[in-house]
């Protein structure tokens, strides 16, 4: 692997990890706030917080990887 490919891989991995962390944290906080609300809705009671967090993490993974590919594409076109 040459240096350029290693940098691209590092960019994709770091953006994906950041997306997973942010997506999971925001989903977990949203489900916690939903349960602590003054009026709890039926939608809030039927959602599993763990599956909601995993869904947020997977969305963050895709968003982070997409952002990394977009940034790499932009830098490649500027050269």
Residue 20's CB is within 10 A of a number of other CB atoms, namely 20
Reported as a single tens digit per residue, the pLDDT across 9-53 is 889 899 999 999 999 999 999 888 888 888 888 888 888 888 989
Based on DSSP, count helices (H) and strands (E) in the chain, helices before strands. 3, 0
65 in Cβ contact with 20 (< 8 Å): no
Measured in residues, the chain has a length of 79
Domain ranges for the chain: 22-78
Residue 68: HSE in the Cβ half-sphere, 13 Å Cα cutoff: 19
| pLDDT value of residue 79 | 66
The region of weakest confidence among 36-40, 61-65, 69-73 is 36-40
The pLDDT, as a whole number, for residue 18 is 95
């Amino acid at each position: 692997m040459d240096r350029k490919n290693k940098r691209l891989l590092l960019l994709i991995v770091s953006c994906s990890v950041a997306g997973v962390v942010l997506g999971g944290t925001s989903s977990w906080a949203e489900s916690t706030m939903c349960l602590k609300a003054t009026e709890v809705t039926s939608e809030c009671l039927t959602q599993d917080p763990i599956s909601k967090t995993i869904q947020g993490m997977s969305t963050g993974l895709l968003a982070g990887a997409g952002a990394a590919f977009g940034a790499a594409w932009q830098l490649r076109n500027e050269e």
